[in-house]
């Protein structure tokens, strides 16, 4: 029996990339997984199918996290399938690479809406659905702690804000035995980084050179860290910022 048997997990942005890796891992660990998505219903159904093919249980829920009222819409969908959540992973996010002098307000608002406002209100409206001794994991970024790519400033700022949410919420939820942590990937091979990694002949090698381990991350590597925090073994880790960059900040 998996270590999360009998638990329910919700992973935002689980149709693709890191979120999909996390959803599949939590499903293998025995959790029933809510696979949230925005636009790609077909990809979300593929995640659900992969979890079921591995012997797990999952369902897909849709909510556009850029839209006003997104968090309420997400929980309304969730409530049709489950009556509480044990592991909540705020993973959905969008990147933004543009020099500060060129970024417009609309673009700035979009990256903050998806990366900060949505997780904040998903948690604000999710408190009553989170079960005692549950887990919250917010997917941050190594860029919150390094200026190595300053054209990603607005994006990095969103992750800095998310990290404050993890830290402060750990104090609010600690009395209920709920842990709250940030997990910060470095460069991971997903659609989000396709241009960076595959858009030029040396993209992959330049990205790999950031990491002490000399590689580019895979969604499964981030999922393993999340799985630890979600497990019983992770019960004494809270309010933390977990570096999952493969040593890109050393």
Task: Catalog residues that contact ligand NAP under the rule CB under 6 A.
Answer: 13, 15-19, 37-40, 64-66, 91-94, 114, 139, 141, 185, 187-188, 190-193
Q: Which of 15, 37, 117, 159 is catalytic?
A: 159
How is residue 142 written in tokens?
């190594």
How is residue 141 written in tokens?
């970024």
Q: If DSSP codes are grouped into helix, strand and coil, which group holds residue 158?
A: helix
Cα–Cα distance for residue pair 108/100, rounded to 1 Å: 10
Instruction: Give the bridge partners for 9, in sequence order.
Output: 33, 87
Give residue for tokens 């989000």: 192
Closer residue to ligand NAP, CB minimum distance, 4 or 188: 188
Please state the closest distance from residue 167 (CB atom) to ligand NAP, in A: 17
Cα–Cα distance for residue pair 233/250, rounded to 1 Å: 26
Catalytic residue status for 159: yes
Element (H, E) at 188: none
Q: Which of 15, 37, 117, 141 is catalytic?
A: 141
Q: Are 62 and 86 in contact (CB under 8 A)?
A: no
Closer residue to ligand NAP, CB minimum distance, 56 or 246: 246
Please state the closest distance from residue 137 (CB atom) to ligand NAP, in A: 11
Closer residue to ligand NAP, CB minimum distance, 46 or 52: 46
Q: Which of 37, 117, 140, 170 is catalytic?
A: 140
Catalytic residue status for 141: yes
Closer residue to ligand NAP, CB minimum distance, 91 or 179: 91
Please state the closest distance from residue 87 (CB atom) to ligand NAP, in A: 16
The angle, 0 to 180 degrees and rounded to 10, between the axes of the packed helices 70-79 and 118-126 is 50
Catalytic residue numbers read 140-141, 155, 159
């Amino acid at each position: 029996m998996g270590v999360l048997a009998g638990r329910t997990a919700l992973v935002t942005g689980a149709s693709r990339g890191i979120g999909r890796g996390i959803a599949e891992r939590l499903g293998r660990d025995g959790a029933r997984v809510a696979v949230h998505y925005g636009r790609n219903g077909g990809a979300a159904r593929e995640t659900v199918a992969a979890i079921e093919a591995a012997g797990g249980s999952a369902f897909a829920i849709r909510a556009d996290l850029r839209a006003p009222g997104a968090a309420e819409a997400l929980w309304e969908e969730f409530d049709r399938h489950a009556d509480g959540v044990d592991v909540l992973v705020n993973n959905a996010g969008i990147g933004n690479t543009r020099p500060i002098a060129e970024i417009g307000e609309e673009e700035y608002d979009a990256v903050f809406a998806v990366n900060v406002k949505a997780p904040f209100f998903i948690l604000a409206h999710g408190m009553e659905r989170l079960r005692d001794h549950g887990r919250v994991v917010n997917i941050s970024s190594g860029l919150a702690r390094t200026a190595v790519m300053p054209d990603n400033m607005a994006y990095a700022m969103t992750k800095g804000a998310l990290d404050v949410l993890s830290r402060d919420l750990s104090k609010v939820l600690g009395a209920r035995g709920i842990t709250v942590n940030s997990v910060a990937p470095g460069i991971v091979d997903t659609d989000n980084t396709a241009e960076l990694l595959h858009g030029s002949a040396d993209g992959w090698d330049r990205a790999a050179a950031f990491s002490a381990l000399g590689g580019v991350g895979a969604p499964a590597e981030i999922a393993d860290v999340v799985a630890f925090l979600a497990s019983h073994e992770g019960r004494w880790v809270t309010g933390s910022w977990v570096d999952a960059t493969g040593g890109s900040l050393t």
